[in-house]
């Protein structure tokens, strides 16, 4: 579809951005960014942008704030949402690349945002497509938000860091091929075991290793729909692994395929690339 991505300009456009948030996270989502903040943020270096059809309908939006961190200008991307009919079309990726381009014009070189470590599609987009990497794990970062998407598993989050001007990110921006991450063959999967050929989460003793794999379900939304208890077991075992290995100095180095329909985060030292 032929879409135009640009900064929001009119009050109806800002209202549409609020509505898209509610379509995405539910009518009771307590953390929806209101029109006033969406509007005034752009006056001080924030970004509020939308994707529009030729008829003028907004089908996606992105919002973030720019501030200082250790004396350096950085951007925190708070909202990325698309309408239900546009999900799976790559629009989220296009909005992110627009956001990056606008920030580089302002001299901002680093962007942060959060995402749920159990969401495989988000992990693949953020790490493999965009080239961002999680740098921190935060337990229950937002508390109860009123969103159906967040219900039942808490709001544990990765903080992702996107180095906007780095060579790997620039290569992706230009559409150049980037070799996929591949974890070492001897890296242990630390949080699952196979039962009748199906990976099942468990929280056991975590091995000491230079590199490890922390598996997540193929679809946590489907898992949670079938069994909220199983979804919580995935949360608990991944939380234990991430908290432990981050404390040991390991970091997320990639998001990799370990078998058909099985994905895991590869963790290793900062100076190790897969």
The mean predicted confidence, pLDDT, of the chain is 93
Angle in degrees, CA 176, 177, 180, rounded to 5: 145
Could you tell me how far CA 76 lies from the centroid of its own chain? 12
Of 8-17, 68-77, 136-145, the least confident: 136-145
Task: State mean pLDDT over 172-199.
Answer: 89
Flag whether pLDDT at 271 surpasses 70.
Answer: no
Task: Quickly count helices (H) and strands (E) in the chain.
Answer: 7, 12
| Cα torsion through 177, 242, 123, 100, rounded to 10 | -70
Which H/E stretch holds residue 252? strand 251-259
Q: Which residues contact 107 (CB under 8 A, 6 or more apart)?
A: 73
Other C-beta atoms closer than 10 Å to the C-beta of 226 total: 10
Task: State mean pLDDT over 167-191.
Answer: 90
End-to-end CA distance of the chain: 36
pLDDT band at 151 (very low <50, low <70, confident <90, very high): low
What is the dotted CATH code of the domain comprising 4-173?
3.40.630.30
Dig out the tokens for 239 from the structure: 């939380």
Highest mean pLDDT: which range of 23-37, 98-112, 171-185: 98-112
Of 170-184, 200-214, 223-237, the least confident: 170-184
Alpha helix (H) residue ranges in 106-156: 120-123
Q: Contact at 8 Å (CB) between 206 and 245?
A: yes
Query: How far is it, in rounded angstroms, from Cα 274 to Cα 268?
Result: 9
The residues facing 254 across adjacent strands are: 266
Q: According to CATH, where is 3.40.630.30 located in the chain? A: 4-173
Query: How far is it, in rounded angstroms, from Cα 235 to Cα 191?
Result: 11
């Amino acid at each position: 579809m032929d879409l135009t991505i640009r900064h929001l300009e009119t009050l109806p456009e800002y209202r549409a951005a609020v509505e898209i948030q509610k379509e995405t996270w539910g009518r009771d989502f307590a953390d929806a960014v209101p029109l006033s903040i969406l509007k005034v943020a752009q006056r001080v270096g924030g970004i509020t942008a939308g994707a529009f059809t030729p008829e003028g309908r907004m089908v996606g939006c992105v919002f973030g704030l720019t501030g200082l961190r250790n004396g350096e200008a950085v951007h925190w991307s708070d909202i990325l949402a698309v309408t239900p009919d546009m999900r799976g079309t790559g629009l989220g990726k296009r909005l992110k690349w627009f956001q990056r381009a606008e920030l580089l014009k302002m001299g901002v070189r680093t962007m942060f945002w959060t995402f749920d470590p159990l969401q495989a599609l988000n992990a693949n987009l953020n790490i493999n497509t965009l080239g961002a990497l999680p740098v921190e794990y935060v337990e229950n970062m937002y508390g109860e938000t009123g969103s159906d998407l967040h219900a039942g598993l808490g709001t544990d989050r990765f903080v992702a860091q996107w180095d906007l001007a780095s060579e790997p990110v620039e290569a992706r921006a230009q559409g150049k091929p980037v070799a996929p991450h591949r974890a070492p063959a001897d890296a242990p999967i630390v949080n699952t075991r196979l039962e009748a050929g199906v990976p099942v989460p468990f929280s056991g003793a975590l091995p000491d290793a230079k590199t490890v794999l922390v598996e997540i379900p193929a679809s946590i939304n489907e898992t949670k729909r079938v069994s909220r208890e199983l979804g919580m077991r995935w949360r608990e075992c991944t939380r234990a692994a991430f908290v432990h290995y981050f404390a040991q100095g390991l970091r997320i180095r990639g998001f990799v395929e370990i078998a058909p329909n099985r994905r895991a985060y590869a963790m290793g030292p900062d100076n190790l690339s897969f």
